[in-house]
Structure 1
Amino acid sequence: MTTLITSTGTLLTFLMLLTPLIFPSPMNPMLQLKNTIKKTFIISLCPSILLLGHETEITIKMAPMIFMDTQNIYIDIILDTYSILFTSIALFITWSIMEFSTWYMSQDPNITKFLKYLTTFLLTMLIIISANNFYQFFIGWEGVGIMSFLLIGWWFARTDAGTAALQAIIYNRLGDIGLLLAMLWLNAFSSWNFQEIFMQENQYFTLPTLGLLLGAIGKSAQLGLHPWLPAAMEGPTPVSALLHSSTMVVAGVFLILRMHPIMQNNHTILTLCLLIGSFTTLVSAIVATTQNDIKKIIALSTTSQLGLMMVTLGLNQPMLTFMHMTMHSFFKATLFLCAGSLIHNLNNEQDIRKMGNLMLNFPATSSAMTTASMALMGAPFLSGFYSKDIIIETITNSNTNAWAMTLTLVATALSATYSTRMIILVQTGTTKIKQTHTHHESKTALNSIARLTMGSIMAGLLTKLMISPSTSILTMPKPIKLAALMISLFSMILTMDIISSNKMKMKPMISHSTNQFLFFNTMHRAFPLGALNTSQNLSTELMDTWTLEKFGPKGLATKNISMTHLSTQQKTMIKHYLSIFLLSTTITLIFLSPNWS
């Protein structure tokens, strides 16, 4: 019975999401889309509740669609802890974001199309998390890439929006090369079906796992392929909220999470995950500390948290990664919607230096932003505390790389720094801009923000109660147990002191951090300019200096002169001419003289 209800609920979820896309309502398509997401979320709770009581893994396998000599291609849906729980969370967050979008995008003439794009975005993410083979997984993987391109560049009349959309698709395509190579290798030597891959004990899985890791680095914006994530802030704020919380960016981490059984004994891959994640979380946290655009601060915070998830995978803790992924979805969506509400009410002003004293004008939004920021910092009894605290404990108690542990702890401290800085500059002090008119906090927007704020408060506690209802015995030293909390508290106090005293030291470091360590200038300016100059010089030298000089008119003239010199005695030298004349005259006189005969 449990299997039947779970399978039916999941299939009904997909069908209901497809209904407004295929058969839109002629009267009110916006209301239809919002209500569909709401009803789908309620239906998805049935499999989630049943999963808590009966931890089972169900596979729905349909008839083959494509027949091949080596293997058949068919739709194969896996229903386990990852897919069932994350489906409910993604639907809940998308429901709130779509309701917020009806207020935020109310003046957009194509708002219905926008909401359809959001629904398609969600649907492709659900395909990723429920796929049981690489064929189906790749459809969802490319789907979120295409939808992110369309949604980031939604305001296509803006040059920055088009550039950001191109960055997203190009950087993701670089990562997709690794996924494609891994799929080709698995198709030749193994299988595309996840269960068949997991059953094989293949010591040569290092090569395809490297490809999978490259795909995850591109999709989840790890260090090296990360510039597209801050640039994606050119899209509408609801897009940023959905893209950075429960779709797109977590797809790369979810790929490693799903394929973890073939990586758990591969120390090379685990070490790479650990190092890449630790450097990503540190660099992103440093850059976020000195940014002034409120959306970019939250975006770089997402990159930092994705790096922390990668570190957790490197520690061989997939369930802990999944837990932090779900907790992160709630408070990150809350932060983006709060930022969107403030930006919309301040006539599209995004610079936190020009904001201030907004807690009086927007008390509900400010309260939600503070709560979500505290959850991000890992404040006790909020959602981030239950996952982030355990991750720090696991790092400090594991035989892991000391450098990776140090970088992660520093990044944890910096997460409190940029969160505290954002709260103080936005909500306290005095406003630095002249507000021509201020929108009031709309009920529609506040409903969405309040719903996600409750998730940020209650999600971790509910997870804690479901996992371990009884009080656990402390088995580690108290300094290690309180390490994350002490680091965050110290960083918060230090940040407040620096801001209040207005002392900003280490200007060169701050300058580089503000410019994102010149990564954008290097990758998007220096390298292309160097390549252009090199190609221009090479083409000039090859065409002008070499081709035209050697084989062109000048080269032919030079060859003609040398051939002329070889074929004639006219050397334009008077001494040479006189010598030849005297020699020939002497020889002639000798031979023609009478005495000779």
Structure 2
Amino acid sequence: MTMLLFYSSMMATLLILTLPTLKSLTVNTPSATKIMQATKMAFMLSLLPATIFINTGLKTTTTHITWMSMSFNISVDFLFDTYSTMFLPVALFITWAIMDFALWYMASDPNLNKFIKYLLLFLITMVILVTANNMLQLFIGWEGVGIMSFLLIGWWHARAAANTSALQAVIYNRVGDIGLILSLAWLAMELNSWEMQQLFSHTSAPILPLLGLILAAMGKSAQFGLHPWLPAAMEGPTPVSALLHSSTMVVAGIFLLIRFHPAIETNPFALSSCLCLGAVTTTFSALCALTQNDIKKIIAFSTSSQLGLMMLTLGLNQPDLAFLHIITHAFFKAMLFLCSGTIIHSLHDEQDIRKMGGVQKTLPITTSCMVLGNLALTGTPFLAGFYTKDAIIEAMNTSHLNAWALITTLMATALTAAYSLRLTFYVQLQTPRYPPLTPTIETGPSQTNPIIRLATGAIIMGLLITTLLTPNTPQTLTMMTLEKLAALITSGVGLVLALDVAQKTTYFIWPHNTKLHTSLTQLNFFNTIIHRTLPQKNMNLGSHTALQLNDLLWYEHIGPNMMKTMHMLLTNKLSQVHTGSIKTYLSIFTMSTLSCLALSTH
């Protein structure tokens, strides 16, 4: 009976989600309010299977339709396990809050119903990816998330920057998709199966398909090297940024590696790759966040930094801890984006934090929640981020790893506190730096209620995780007190140093930008090199070296010029023969005749 209730409630949740999209195929697009209400109902219903799982640990795999039969069967399979059962209510709750916020934020948009439907499709493709039990179904969700991100990032398609950013997201993700497609091909040829359970039974996978999966995660989760699309994606509407950074697009890559961790955990090279990649990403993104002035880009780089921390956790052989950090991170990151959207909207589309200040006077609820989100991001005790971030640092301290990864991660933890304080300092403290009569006040519950709901999740989610999903009997501590407090000490040091620097900025001092600051402001010139310098060099190589040399050498020098030169040489020689002397003509005639006779006799 419990199994039937668990399975039927999960399938009913998925059905409620898909009904608005199915309805739009037959009639006009459902209203935005109805789509939001359907998401809310799906969230309420998803709490039932989550409760059953917490109490009984029940898991199920179902097969519905066989799509095609090749050397192996490909079916429509759903896998309801720890990850899918716990991720679904979190994603639905956050999407419900974002849709509710979008009804206010995008109220003036003429295509609001279509926008909310796109948000729902974005969620559905992520749910397909999370609940997939075979690789083809997972790949459909994977590509669906990419397509929907392209449509939503480029929603304001009249802006050239939005189109460029959407295209950039697709191209970078396509580079990562190459790795996933190659891994799919290897699994089909070598293991002759795409079913999850059969793939996990082969724990001795070689390094090449695992590197393909890591490359796929690099593209989707914006790890270092394939990261530029994530800050560029801020050209989309703020609700898109909130959904993309919290529970859909960017966590898909980490979720893929969590799913395949049974194959990765036995391969030291794959684990080391995840560890080093995560350490570099989290530190580089934190450094870039410290020098940005766009409020949304600061939060975007903080997402990239936290994704690097999740990747590093996978390198530590702790997939469950990475998954828990996905859940806790989703609440306060979505809240931070919604708060930034409210601030931008109230200041008439101003995103430069240097032109803000004193916003807490006009937006008290928004700024209070933003401070709460920054504290959770920093890892303040007893907020959501503390329970997972502190555990990740402890796992690093007690593992046998190189000191380089540990030091860079601790540095990124300190920088997280620094840029969070910088964001609060510039946006909310001191006197206003915007023109008079610019700001608008909080208008009502449609603006603040979604933020308050997410703030509640950011406060209690860590406590719920520790009481419901972790063992009730605590383990005996075997680490030193300093190691146990390393994360808090590092965050505190970063906070104090940033506060000291912030106080210095209250005095009028001519700014002195160092080379390091300039480099980090320009993202280490990564975009300039990849998007401008290399294409320009390739264009110059193609136009000057290839095309011009080809044209000049083959089409001109070997062809017309050679014929012209030979023709002129022959003409000159023959013109010298024509002297007008009868003796010369008779001599040539005689020699030609004798030559013809000699040839004819032979």
TM-score normalised per structure 2: 0.92
Cα pair distance change 1:563/1:396, threshold 3 Å: farther
Partner of 1:155: 156
Post-superposition shift, 1:28? Answer: 6.7
**Which of 563, 566, 577 is matched with 1:556 structurally?**
563
Quickly say closer, same or farther: Cα 1:30–1:569, change in 2 above 3 A.
Answer: closer
Equivalent in the alignment of 1:242: 243
1:28 and 1:543, CA in 2 relative to 1: closer, same or farther beyond 3 A? closer
Partner letter of residue 482 of structure 1? Answer: L
> What are the Cα deviations for residues 534-593 of structure 1, in whole angstroms up to 9, with x where unaligned?
11102443344202442332121123345567x7694999xxx9xx99xx9xxxxxxxxx
In 1: Cα distance, 2:218 partner to 2:203 partner: 25
Alignment correspondent of 1:513: 520
Q: Deviations over 1:293-347 (max 9, x none)?
A: 0000000000000000000000100000001111110110010000011111110
SS of residue matched to 2:66: strand
**Do residues 492 (structure 1) and 492 (structure 2) align?**
no
The answer to whether the 8 A contact 1:413-1:487 is kept is yes
**SS of residue in 1 equivalent to 2:353:** coil
Contact (CA 8 Å) 1:284, 1:304: kept in 2 or not? Answer: yes
Tell me, which stretches of 5 or more residues in structure 1 are unaligned?
585-597
Deviations 1:453-511 (A, max 9, x none): 01000000111112244555432111111000011011111101101112776611111
User: Is 1:64 aligned to 2:66, yes or no?
Assistant: yes
Given the superposition, is the C-alpha separation of residues 384 and 560 from structure 1 closer, same or farther in structure 2, using an over 3 Å criterion? same
- The structure 2 residue matched to 1:193, chosen from 192, 195, 212, is 195
Distance 1:374 1:552, change over 3 A: same
Distance 1:518 1:231 in 2: 14
User: What residue number does 1:477 align with?
Assistant: 480
Letter in 2 for 1:538: T
Whole-angstrom CA distance in 2 between matches of 1:81 and 1:215: 23
Residue type of the alignment partner of 2:498? T
Residue equivalent to 1:593: none
**Counterpart in the other structure of 1:429:** 430
Q: Is the 8 A contact 1:219 1:252 kept in 2?
A: yes
1-structure distance, mates of 2:203, 2:555? 62
How far the C-alpha of 1:166 sits from its partner, in A, is 0.3
Q: Deviations over 1:369-392 (max 9, x none)?
A: 000100000000000000000000
SS at match of 1:145: helix
Q: Return the alpha-carbon distance in structure 1 between the equivalents of residues 173 and 29 of structure 2.
A: 38
**Cα displacement string for residues 127-167 of structure 1 (whole angstroms, at most 9, x for unaligned residues):** 01100111100000000000000000000000100000000
Matches of 1:435 and 1:252 in 2, distance apart?
A: 45
Q: In the TM superposition, what is the alpha-carbon distance from 1:102 to its structure 2 partner?
A: 0.2
Cα distance change on mapping 1:78 and 1:451 into 2, 3 Å = same
Partner of 2:536: 529
The equivalent residue for 1:261 is: 262
Moved over 6 A (4+): 25-28, 503-506
CA distance in 1, matches of 2:175, 2:547: 31
Distance 2:166 2:548 in 1: 37
Does 1:223 find its partner at 2:230? Answer: no
Change in 2 beyond 3 A, CA 1:401/1:153: same
Distance 1:416 1:27, change over 3 A: closer
1:105 is aligned to 106
Query: In structure 2, the residue corresponding to 1:61 is in which secondary structure?
Result: strand
Q: Is the 8 A contact 2:36 2:100 kept in 1?
A: yes
Q: CA deviation at 1:6?
A: 1.6
Deviation at 1:526, TM superposition (A): 0.4
1:54 and 1:572 mapped to 2: Cα distance?
Answer: 111
What amino acid sits opposite 2:366 in the alignment? Answer: T
Deviations 1:215-241 (CA, angstroms, capped at 9, x unpaired): 100000000110000000000000000
Contact 2:52-2:58 at 8 Å conserved across structures: no
Give the equivalent residue in structure 2 for 1:330: 331
CA distance in 1, matches of 2:575, 2:347: 91
Give the % identical residues.
Answer: 47
The code of the aligned residue for 1:498 comes to V
1: distance between equivalents of 2:577 and 2:398?
91
Alignment match, 1:349:
350
What residue identity is the alignment partner of 2:64?
M
Match of 1:2 in 2: 2
Aligned equivalents of 1:209, 1:2: Cα separation in 2: 37
1:19-38 paired onto structure 2 within 5 Å: 19-24=19-24, 29-38=31-40
Task: Return the alpha-carbon distance in structure 2 between the equivalents of residues 201 and 354 of structure 1.
Answer: 55
Does the CA contact (< 8 Å) of 1:274 and 1:314 recur in 2?
Answer: yes
- Seen in structure 2, the aligned counterparts of structure 1 residues 107 and 276 have a Cα distance that, compared at 3 Å, is same
Aligned AA for 1:530?
Answer: K
Between 1:474-483 and 1:117-126, the stretch displaced more is 474-483
For the residue of structure 2 that corresponds to 1:23, the secondary structure is: helix
Instruction: Give the AA of the match of 2:424.
Output: I
Q: Which amino acid aligns with 1:9?
A: S
Q: Could you tell me whether the CA contact under 8 Å between 1:338 and 1:369 is conserved in 2?
A: yes
For 2:16 and 2:97, how far apart are their aligned partners in 1? 17
Distance (whole Å) between structure 1 residues aligned to residue 154 and residue 81 of structure 2: 35
- 1:27 Cα deviation after fit: 10
Residues 27 and 513 from structure 1, CA distance in 2 versus in 1: closer, same or farther, beyond 3 angstroms?
A: closer
Give the 3-state SS of the residue equivalent to 1:496 in structure 2: helix
Aligned amino acid, residue 109 of structure 1: P
Are 2:36 and 2:99, in contact at CA under 8 Å, matched by a contact in 1?
yes
Contact kept, 8 Å, 1:548 with 1:555, in 2: the verdict is: no
Q: CA deviation at 1:361?
A: 1.3
Structure 1 position 19, deviation (Å): 0.9
Q: 1:569 to 1:154 in 2, by over 3 A?
A: closer
Cα deviation, residue 396, structure 1: 1.1
Distance 2:5 2:496 in 1: 51
Instruction: Describe the superposition over 1:178-232 as per-residue Cα deviations: whole angstroms up to 9, x where unpaired.
Output: 1001101111111211111111243x53111111111100000000110000000
Higher mean alpha-carbon deviation, 135-144 vs 24-33, is at 24-33
Structure-to-structure mapping, 1:312-461, within 5 angstroms: 312-441=313-442, 442-461=444-463
The residue number in structure 1 matching 2:274 is 273
Cα distance in 2 for partners of 1:296, 1:310 equals 21
The superposition leaves residues 79-106 of structure 1 with CA deviations (integer Å, 9 ceiling, x where unpaired) of 1110000001000000000000000000
Following TM superposition, by how much is the alpha carbon of 1:73 offset from its aligned partner in structure 2, in angstroms? 1.4
| 8 A Cα contact 2:29 2:113, kept in partner | no
- Which moved further from structure 2: 377-386 or 426-435? 426-435
Q: What SS does the corresponding residue of 1:353 show, helix, strand or coil?
A: helix
1:133 maps to amino acid: N
Output the aligned Cα RMSD.
2.0
Q: Contact conserved, 1:205 with 1:262, CA < 8 A, in 2?
A: no
- 2:15 matches 1:15: yes
Q: Secondary structure at the match of 1:64?
A: strand
TM-score by length of 1: 0.93
Give the conservation status (yes or no) of the 8 Å contact 1:48–1:84: yes
State the match for 2:183 in structure 1.
182
Q: Does 1:542 align with 2:545?
A: no
Structure-to-structure mapping, 1:569-584, within 5 angstroms: 570=576
Contact 1:346 1:435 in 2 (8 A): no
SS at match of 1:76: strand
Q: In 2, distance between residues paired with 1:371 and 1:505?
A: 32
Distance in 1 (CA, whole Å) between partners of 2:569 and 2:312 is 71
CA distance, structure 2, for counterparts of residue 8 and residue 402 of structure 1: 49
Give distance in 2, aligned partners of 1:559 and 1:479. 88
